[in-house]
Homo-oligomer: A and B are copies of this chain.
Amino acid sequence: MTTDAPFQLDGFLAFRLARAASEVSQRLSKAYAGFDLDVPQWRVLATIADRAPVTAQDIVASTRTHKSTISRAVRKLTERGWIERVRSNEDGRAWALQFTSKGEARFEELLPLVRGFEREMERELGREALLALQAGLDGLETVLDVGWS
């Protein structure tokens, strides 16, 4: 480059976020390798675990994942017998999603692994960096209006 300071990809927030997110996500996926879950499926399960019964639309809204992606994740989990769908009483277009007993059992095997990963990452980060990261994400979520459902 000639004009201005040389552009430093490494100092660029969007890039740092993307790289960190992809690295963390890749490592996390190793924690639940063997369960044959992809990220959207994991998000569906976690949302159901948090506040079943939910609709696909609820999951779309709270995870900001595209509705076609959620739709396909729901289909796979239904086919695998982890979750079941019941037509919503309030809205005949929507489906209420909840675990089957098999799905709940699998999720409870899975959860400690994921929690372990999170705790280990927090431990490695150390208290100070963890608090900074959380505060930074709080601010970012406010700016992006991507927050607490």
Contacts and interface: CB of A to CB of B under 8 A. Distances in A.
Interface of A: 1-4, 6-10, 12-25, 27-28, 39, 43, 46-47, 49-51, 62-64, 104, 107-108, 111, 114-115, 117-118, 121-122, 124-126, 128-130, 132-141, 143-144, 146-149
A64 B139 contact: no
B1 A108 contact: yes
Contacts of A3: 108
24 contacts: A1-B50, A1-B107, A6-B49, A7-B46, A9-B63, A10-B62, A10-B149, A12-B46, A12-B118, A13-B122, A13-B133, A13-B134, A13-B137, A14-B118, A17-B137, A18-B25, A20-B140, A21-B21, A23-B146, A129-B140, A129-B143, A132-B132, A133-B135, A133-B139
Copies of this chain per assembly: 2
Contact of A133 (B115, B133, B148): B133
B144 A50 contact: no
